[in-house]
Amino acid sequence: MNNAHIEKTLEKALADESLSRKDASVLLALDPDSDETKQLLDIADRASREWVHRRGYIWASIGLDYSPCPMNCTFCSLGEKWGIIKEPWILNVDEVLDLIHHYDVPEVRWITLRTSEFYSIDKLIQIARLAMPLKHAELVVNTGEFDRKDACALYETGFNVAYHVMRLREGVDTGVDPNERLITLEAIKQSPLQLAALVDPIGPEHTDEELVEAMFLHKAYGAALMGAMARFAVVGTPKYELGTISRARLAQITAVSRLVAGKQVDAICTHPADDRILTSGANTVVVEYGAIPRDTKISQGDWKGFDIQEALKLLRGAGYEI
Ligand code: SF4
């Protein structure tokens, strides 16, 4: 496709307030460093201005348990088989409550409680019950599989959103059965919980078709927050040797995700964020604490020093209002 064709496709996406599957594949096939991709990023940035009026959001994520997980996903530091965790570390309820209150400030829209696959749903419910009501943020659950009854119970105790994703090559690179994942996605859809789902975790080996498939599947399940997350190369995990994707490629995928999500989705998240990606359609950045599946040690502070102040600086620098 030449420049003129790309321009026409992008203008159509903006006018239609969404992007087709076929057009998404074409845009993902572009060279991330080409002029055409620059056009894509500019249009996604324009969509962010026109569709979400330059509102930016911070997503705080608390990793509750750095403990060996039998699902052994090949990119995750918590995988039991990789032997990375020498000493399990689990936040107690009071510590989680303190952290929730620490992040419950006007600048943070969501606080996520993230766990390994088999963390107790009852314990998450107990924590939410004690944490409620929050003053500013909404509570998000990011855990293993659950049914509609659990989804409704999570909602009733204070969770508004569930982060749940059909990970790339689910069941091949992960220990989770893709059908189980779909059952949880359906349970979320049938409950009052909103779905948040990025294309996750993206490595250099993933094809454009796989990325498109993930975007449209999450959209079909009604995702209210979408976007893209690069896979981090964690030393000691099987995927380490494959490395990660470039920032230019992440910006390109984020931009396509912005256009696929359409006008009704007001939050597009990118991880890790930088100023280039934030002018490519993303308006949501992540601050993390505790057990991080992308790291070989726990973080008893904001991960890599990226705290609320840094997140604000980045978002405001890209012209977002928080
Ligand atoms: S990604 Fe989740 S399910 Fe997979 S090993 Fe890590 S904690 Fe377990």
Q: Which of 76, 146, 169 most suits a substitution to test ligand 1, by most atoms within 8 Å of the C-beta?
A: 76
Give the ligand 1 atom nearest the CA of 167. 1
Helix axes 35-52 and 3-16, enclosed angle (nearest 10) = 10
Record the pTM. 0.97
Determine contact, residues 212/171, Cβ cutoff 8 Å: no
Instruction: Say which amino acid occupies 288.
Output: E
User: For residue 306, what are its two tokens?
Assistant: 């990226």
Q: What is the DSSP string of 256-285?
A: HHHHHH-TT--EEEEES--TTGGGTT--EE
User: Could you tell me the CATH superfamily of domain 3-317?
Assistant: Aldolase class I (3.20.20.70)
**pLDDT of 1:** 61
Mean local confidence (pLDDT), 76-86: 97
For residue 172, the SS3 value is coil
Q: Give the list of residues 6+ apart from residue 3 with CB closer than 8 angstroms, or none.
A: 35, 36, 39
Whole-angstrom CA distances from 50 to 53, 65, 258 are 5, 40, 12
Mutational test site, ligand 1, from 61, 78, 166, max ligand atoms within 8 Å of CB: 78
pLDDT digits (tens, 9 = 90+) for 105-146: 999 999 999 999 999 999 999 999 999 999 999 999 999 999
- Look at residue 29 in the predicted model and tell me its pLDDT: 97
Give the helix/strand (H/E) hosting 13: helix 3-16
Ligand 1 residue neighbourhood (C-beta within 6 Å): 69, 71-73, 76, 78-79, 116-117, 174, 176, 293
d(CA 210, CA 225): 19
* Res. 8 pLDDT band, cuts 50 70 90: confident
**pLDDT computed for residue 232 by the predictor:** 97
CA of 316 relative to ligand 1 center, distance in Å: 33
Q: At what angle do helices 35-52 and 247-261 cross, to 10 degrees?
A: 40
| pLDDT for residue 253 is more than 90 | yes
Please report the atom of ligand 1 found closest to the CA of residue 69: 8
Interval between CA 252 and ligand 1 midpoint (Å): 26
Beta-strand relationship, 267-271 and 225-230: parallel
Handedness of CA 38, 19, 176, 191 (dihedral sign): positive
Closest atom of ligand 1 to 80 CA is: 5
Cα–ligand 1 centroid distance for 14 (angstroms): 37
CA of 76 to the centre of ligand 1 (A): 6
User: What integer is the mean pLDDT of 153-159?
Assistant: 98
Q: Which atom of ligand 1 is nearest to the CA of 79?
A: 5
Inter-CA distances, 117 with 141, 143, 148, 168, 290, Å: 12, 6, 17, 17, 16
